[in-house]
């Protein structure tokens, strides 16, 4: 790697992505430099592009979940599983850094995803601070970042195919308390929804329903494990409810997961669950407007559990790796990644993602645009 590092920078909301050159950073003791092999364009990146998140210190280098090869390691670098990482290793890292570990959310409530000091690669760090995003030929891993060796059997495309959606899905399944033999319905067939489907299959769900669009994502949903899919554009909520009940002893499913980010989805979801079931709300990462909810019908009389799910923790990152290593050969996580873009084409990648022309755009910062 030369001393000049190229990165794609988002200068501000709704402005074109720019390719900029950065100096190769100093790597102090405890830190490392990762040569990026793959990063991704996720739904949050589209939100960032539209300025829908508050407090973002533009310009930023997007790309929060990324993978690569350790180029430089200064001192001993131990992965979260205790093993030492060395230069040349295929490595990944947990995108959330600097959760304080000392505030009440971290220490008392054990909800570190609500730590206010928390920072996230690709989102909360300005490009002026350095290489804190994966849309770059190299990522700076500051001391304290949770890292891990990418298991030999897991390809870069599999890991990034799952990507941040997979980490979120691990947390969703944990919040859902899903057990083998239970039924589940996933609202939304984007990266989070598809990973949730895959994990529900790994975890032994008895039946997996998915609601989504467009058609190619529903095909993908089936490949990842869904038993039955509903096209959002050609079925009504009433039809979906009737069909789900008909297949679940008239009850609805044990677990519904909201991974759609739509106000209408949140209105529909409670009724798809059985009485006493669980409804995990994980798709409302930005404000999609108000829903109309009747607390009597939808919650109180249904004796329903609704569980918000925000972000992910280091243990979800490690669990994702474990599951990829063990089940990557049976579940095609890699298929979630739709197409790989070079840095110069990330405006197009964002547009394709927003228009749902692809499920997930991968980023190869070393690819030539002329390919």
Site for its own copies in 268-307 (CB under 8 A): 274-276, 281-297, 299-307
**For helices 156-176 and 314-327, angle between their N-to-C axes, nearest 10 degrees:** 120
DSSP for 158-227 reads: HHHHHHHHHHHHHHHHHHHT--TT-EEEEE--SHHHHHHHHHHHHTT-SEEEEEE-SHHHHHHHHHHT-S
- Asked if 314 is part of the footprint of its own copies (rule: CB under 8 A), the reply reads yes
Q: Which is nearer to its own copies, 15 or 315 (CB)?
A: 315
Q: Which is nearer to its own copies, 211 or 323 (CB)?
A: 323
DSSP for 213-277 reads: -SHHHHHHHHHHT-SEEEETTT--HHHHHHHHHHTTTTS-EEEEEE-S--HHHHHHHHHHEEEEE
Q: Which is nearer to its own copies, 107 or 369 (CB)?
A: 107
One residue of 113, 222, 223, 241 binding its own copies per CB under 8 A: 113
Report the length, in residues, of the chain.
371
Scored b (16 or more CB within 10 A) or e, 108-141 reads eeeebbebeebbbbbbbbebeebbbbbbbbbbbb
One residue of 199, 224, 255, 346 binding its own copies per CB under 8 A: 199
| Selection from 124, 51, 111 nearest residue 308 by Cα | 111
Q: Which is nearer to its own copies, 8 or 207 (CB)?
A: 207
Minimum gap (Å) between residue 79 Cβ and its own copies: 10
One residue of 110, 234, 246, 371 binding its own copies per CB under 8 A: 110
Q: Which is nearer to its own copies, 317 or 341 (CB)?
A: 317
Among positions 74-93, residues that touch its own copies (CB under 8 A) are 78, 80-82
Q: Which is nearer to its own copies, 252 or 365 (CB)?
A: 252
Minimum gap (Å) between residue 192 Cβ and its own copies: 12
Residue 161 neighbours by CB under 8 Å, 6+ apart: 333, 334, 335, 336, 337, 360, 362
Among positions 221-260, residues that touch its own copies (CB under 8 A) are 249-251, 258
Minimum gap (Å) between residue 43 Cβ and its own copies: 13
Measured from the Cβ of residue 240, the count of other Cβ atoms closer than 10 Å reads 20
Give the x-and-dash track for 207-226 against its own copies (CB under 8 A): x-------------------
Q: Which is nearer to its own copies, 325 or 344 (CB)?
A: 325
- Asked if 366 is part of the footprint of its own copies (rule: CB under 8 A), the reply reads no
- Asked if 105 is part of the footprint of its own copies (rule: CB under 8 A), the reply reads yes
- Asked if 179 is part of the footprint of its own copies (rule: CB under 8 A), the reply reads yes
One residue of 57, 75, 88, 181 binding its own copies per CB under 8 A: 181
Distances 78 to 35, 70, 93, 143, 161 between C-alpha atoms, Å: 18, 13, 11, 11, 25
Both structure tokens of 294:
């009747």
| 271 neighbors 284 (Cβ within 8 angstroms) | no
Binding segment (CB under 8 A) for its own copies, from list 9-17, 22-30, 313-321, 342-350? 313-321
Give the interface size with its own copies as a residue count (CB under 8 A): 79
One residue of 5, 34, 173, 226 binding its own copies per CB under 8 A: 173
């Amino acid at each position: 790697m030369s001393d000049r590092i190229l990165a794609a920078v988002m200068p501000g909301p709704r402005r074109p992505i720019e390719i900029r050159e950065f100096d190769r950073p100093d790597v102090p003791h405890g830190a490392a430099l990762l040569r990026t092999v793959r990063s991704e364009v996720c739904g949050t990146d589209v939100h960032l592009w539209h300025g829908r998140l508050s407090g973002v210190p533009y310009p930023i280098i997007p790309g929060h979940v990324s993978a690569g090869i350790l180029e430089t390691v200064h001192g001993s670098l131990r992965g979260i599983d205790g093993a030492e990482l060395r230069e040349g290793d295929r490595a990944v890292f947990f995108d959330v850094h600097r959760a304080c570990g000392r505030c009440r959310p971290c220490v008392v409530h054990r909800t570190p995803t609500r730590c206010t000091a928390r920072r996230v690669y690709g989102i909360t760090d300005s490009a002026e601070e350095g290489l804190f995003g994966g849309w770059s030929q190299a990522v700076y891993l500051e001391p304290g970042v949770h890292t891990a060796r990418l298991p030999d059997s897991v390809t870069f495309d599999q890991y990034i195919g799952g990507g941040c959606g997979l980490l979120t899905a691990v947390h969703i399944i944990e919040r859902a308390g899903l057990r083998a033999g239970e039924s589940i319905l996933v609202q939304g067939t984007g990266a989070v929804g598809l990973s949730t489907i895959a994990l529900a299959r790994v975890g032994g769900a008895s039946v997996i329903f998915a609601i989504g669009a467009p058609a190619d994502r529903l095909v993908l949903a089936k490949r990842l494990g869904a038993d039955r899919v509903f096209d959002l554009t050609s079925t009504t909520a009433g039809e979906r409810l009737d069909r789900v009940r008909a297949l679940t002893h008239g009850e609805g499913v044990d677990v519904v997961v909201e991974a759609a980010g739509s106000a209408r989805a949140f209105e529909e979801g409670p009724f798809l669950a059985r009485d006493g079931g669980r409804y995990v709300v994980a798709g409302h990462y930005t404000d999609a407007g108000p829903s109309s909810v009747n607390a009597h019908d939808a919650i109180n009389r249904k004796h329903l559990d609704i569980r918000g799910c925000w972000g992910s923790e280091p243990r979800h990152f490690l669990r994702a790796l474990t599951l990829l290593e063990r089940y990557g050969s049976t579940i095609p996580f890699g298929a979630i990644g739709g197409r790989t873009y070079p840095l110069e084409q990330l405006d197009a990648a964002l547009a394709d993602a927003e228009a749902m022309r692809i499920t997930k755009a991968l980023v190869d910062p070393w690819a030539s645009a002329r390919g």
